[in-house]
Copies of this chain bind each other. A is one copy, B any other.
Amino acid sequence: MTEKEFLKNYDPSAFERPSTAVDSVIFTVYQEELQVLLIKRDELPFHGKWSLVGGYVNIHQDDSLDATALRKLEEKTGFSSPYLEQVMSIGGKERDPRGWTISTIYYALIPHDALNLNPGKGASDAKMTSIAEALNMELAFDHKTVLKHCLERLRNKALYTTLPVHLMRGNFTLSELQSIFETILGHTIQQKSFRRRMLGSETLEETGEMRETTRRPAMTYRLKAGVSPHYFTRNLESVHL
């Protein structure tokens, strides 16, 4: 039998397949709070419960899992170029009452002022919620576990990469950026260490423009065009004394 013949006779329904979904944790930092996007479900199961952004993989529409994640994300936030990272996949029979499901988990970083919320089909409401609050709510499916995994990943990355810059839009001062890091980590960072790292990472450039506020103006920076996130070889302290 040739490969062609084999494929012609191949029966995709011979094997019972799990359903396949993508769920994303959309992070933003606003008012010194790390927040995530929650969607109020307007359909069964878990009708009326808050959930993460997610949906089924559509094999006709999506070219890849990343594409599914981006599609859902754009639908709900209106933002199309987030930092998006796959975290893991979870599969099992008990996670969804409809049966065996595989869900691939992503997290995205979106600058707060780029958000344009839209609950979308099958949902009645969408809101940004602080991490503390979200972890205290009863979320749909195993979304609390998912949230915890993403949170852990983001916090770890804040310790050894420049990733959180993706929560900033346009020009920003180093103090503003440091505040973002501190919000994510949940503790303060030594200003000197932070500036040394960021300026040494070769990923930022001065804009030449100063941020004029009520006190001493600060230099503003922007992400250098075309640079990938910088990985430091030494971590920041993870728990502050």
Interface members, chain A 52-90 (any B CB < 8 Å): 56-60, 62-65, 68, 86, 88-90
On chain B, the residues within 8 Å of A89 by CB distance are 65, 86, 89, 102, 104
Interface check A122, CB cutoff 8 A:
no
**A3-B44, A15-B58 known; 7 other A-B pairs, CB under 8 Å?**
A1-B44, A10-B98, A16-B59, A20-B102, A57-B100, A63-B92, A65-B92
Complex Cα–Cα for A3 and B48 (A): 12
On chain B, the residues within 8 Å of A1 by CB distance are 44
Contact residue among B6, B97, B98, B102 (Cβ-Cβ distance under 8 Å from A57): B102
Residue of B nearest to A17 (CB): B17
Contact residue among B3, B16, B47, B92 (Cβ-Cβ distance under 8 Å from A47): B3
Q: Mark A9-44, 1 if CB is under 8 A from B, else 0.
A: 010100111111000000000000000000000001
Interface check A229, CB cutoff 8 A:
no
Interface members, chain A 83-111 (any B CB < 8 Å): 86, 88-93, 97-100, 102, 104
- Smallest Cβ distance from A161 to chain B, in angstroms? 12
Interface residues on A, range: 35 or more
B7 touches A12 (CB 8 A): no
- Smallest Cβ distance from A193 to chain B, in angstroms? 13
Integer count of this chain's copies in the complex? 2
Which secondary structure dominates chain A's binding surface? loop
A86-B88, A88-B86 in contact; A16/B97 too (CB < 8 A)? no
Complex Cα–Cα for A128 and B148 (A): 37
Residue of B nearest to A105 (CB): B89
Contact residue among B6, B47, B56, B97 (Cβ-Cβ distance under 8 Å from A15): B56
Complex Cα–Cα for A16 and B56 (A): 10
A86-B89, A90-B65, A235-B234 in contact; A59/B104 too (CB < 8 A)? no
On chain B, the residues within 8 Å of A90 by CB distance are 64-65
On chain B, the residues within 8 Å of A45 by CB distance are 3, 6-7
Interface check A233, CB cutoff 8 A:
yes
- Smallest Cβ distance from A204 to chain B, in angstroms? 22
Complex Cα–Cα for A45 and B15 (A): 16
On chain B, the residues within 8 Å of A57 by CB distance are 17-18, 91, 100, 102
